[in-house]
Amino acid sequence: MFKNILLAFDGSEHSLRTVSKTIDIAKLTRDSKVWVLYVLSDDKTKTEVLNLWEAKGIKEERLERFKVAEETAKRNEVQYEIKLIRGNPESKIIEFADQNQIDIIVIGSRGLNPLQSMMLGSVSHRVMKKASCPVMIIK
């Protein structure tokens, strides 16, 4: 069914809720693989560079947030790979999905109210509109 699964993950509470659903999907198909993708937004990256310059490296700091996803995949014996890339989250998620023949994208929703959603938009909804594969949005 879904052999290549993309988990769009940013370490937030909303994305943490997507982990168990993604692993459940992966367990339905033998030899499936979960790609855990973290896209460092260009805006966040500049701030974090300044804040973390003398602390831990940015990559190490970000990778610590993947422990829940990594431990859940290991515990359930699901193949996974963690990818960390820079750029616009919406376009990089779609680009990664297209380049890696992803069968489904699983992404969290921030739970915006209708006014916030209209004014701010959301990465999950923009990905859903532009992706060439199915997208599952977890509330």
In eight-state DSSP terms, residue 32 is -
pLDDT band at 100 (very low <50, low <70, confident <90, very high): very high
**The domain defined by 4-138 carries CATH number 1.10.3720.10:** no
For residue 96, pLDDT over 70 is answered with yes
Tell whether the model's pLDDT for residue 111 goes beyond 60.
no
Say what percent of the chain tops pLDDT 70: 74
Q: By the 8 A CB rule, do 121 and 114 touch? A: no
Please give the structure tokens belonging to residue 100. 């890696």
Tokens 């297209």 sit on residue: 98
Supply the pLDDT for residue 139.
82
Look at residue 109 in the predicted model and tell me its pLDDT: 82
> In the chain, where are the structural domains located?
4-138
Q: Is pLDDT at 59 greater than 90 in this prediction?
A: no
How far, in Å, CA of 72 to CA of 9, rounded?
14
Going by pLDDT thresholds of 50, 70 and 90, the confidence category of residue 5 is: very high
Q: Which helix (H) or strand (E) holds 80?
A: strand 79-86
The pTM is what? 0.82
Which residues does residue 4 pair with via DSSP β-bridges, in sequence order? Answer: 33
Q: Which residues of 47-84 are buried (b: 16+ CB within 10 A; e: fewer)?
A: ebeeeeeeeeebeeebbeebeebeebbeeeebebebee
- Name residue 85's beta-bridge partners: 39
Strands 79-86 and 4-8: unpaired
* 113 — pLDDT class (breaks 50, 70, 90): low
Average pLDDT (37-48) is 69
pLDDT at 6: 98
Band (pLDDT 50/70/90 cuts) for residue 123 is confident
Residue 58 and residue 5: Cα distance in Å, rounded?
A: 26
